[in-house]
Amino acid sequence: MSVVLYWHPKSSALPIACALTELGVPHERVVVDLEAGEQRRPEFLALNPNGKVPTLTVDGAPMFESLAIQLWLGERYGVDAGLWPAPNTPERLLAMSWCAWSYVSYGAVLGRAYHAAYGDDTRRDARQAEIALEDMDGLLAVLDGHLSQRPWILGATYSLADLVVGSVVGYSAFMGAVQNHPHVQAWCDRVNARPSMQIAA
């Protein structure tokens, strides 16, 4: 199987590179120069019509959207590697739930907070940023409660669910929300200490 990752090191494609490293999947990496606009060239848009990284091809067939790629990697390689729960187990249900939570529930609020606080002049709104940060804080409290009972998302051991959820939650750390939740902060530190986080970059 030929796997090619189209990415840029300082982008949302980094967690995919980390996952490939964690799983030991042989693959080729193609750097897409975002500043030069390579993501808008016709040959790249033929792979990802959104014009974004990450994009993965599997035997030439394209796949885009980070969550879809992570879930496919988990199902295709993660079970055998011990980094993704087997089908029809309670742990698989938990992994799917938290991964979706990170990109859908938390990711939507994170996007609102980011644009209201750091977006261009037409989108910046201090009051909306404050509301979004309050919503983020509420969601992080849910995750903090979950992690107060276990060191990792699924229990006693690290899994790709930690990488997926951690990549979204960790992105919001610079906003100062994570530090208010000690279990989330300690877990983020553990996720970031994984060797793959250094090797993949």
CATH topology (fold) of 90-199 = Glutathione S-transferase Yfyf (Class Pi); Chain A, domain 2 (1.20.1050)
- pLDDT tens, residue by residue, 19-75: 999 999 999 999 999 999 999 999 999 999 999 999 999 999 999 999 999 999 999
| Residue 173 pLDDT grade (very low, low, confident, very high; cuts 50, 70, 90) | confident
Q: What is the pTM of this model?
A: 0.94
- pLDDT tens, residue by residue, 99-130: 999 999 999 999 999 899 888 878 888 899 89
pLDDT, average across residues 117-145:
91
| Residue 87 pLDDT grade (very low, low, confident, very high; cuts 50, 70, 90) | very high
pLDDT of residue 200: 62
Q: How far apart are CA 7 and CA 29, in angstroms?
A: 7
Over the chain, what is the mean pLDDT?
94
**Residue by residue, what is the 3-state secondary structure of the chain?**
CCEEEEECCCCCCHHHHHHHHHHCCCCEEEECCCCCCHHHCHHHHCCCCCCCCCEEEECCEEEECHHHHHHHHHHHHHHHHCCCCCCCCHHHHHHHHHHHHHHHHHHHHHHHHHHHHHCCCCCCCHHHHHHHHHHHHHHHHHHHHHHCCCCECCECCCCHHHHHHHHHHHHHHHHCCHHHCHHHHHHHHHHHCCHHHHHCC
Check for a shared fold between 3-81 and 90-199.
Answer: no
| Residue 201 pLDDT grade (very low, low, confident, very high; cuts 50, 70, 90) | low
Distance separating the N- and C-terminal Cα atoms of the chain: 23
Q: What angle do CA 79, 84, 85 make, to 5 degrees?
A: 85
Domain boundaries, the chain: 3-81, 90-199
> According to the CATH classification, is domain 3-81 in 3.40.30.10?
yes
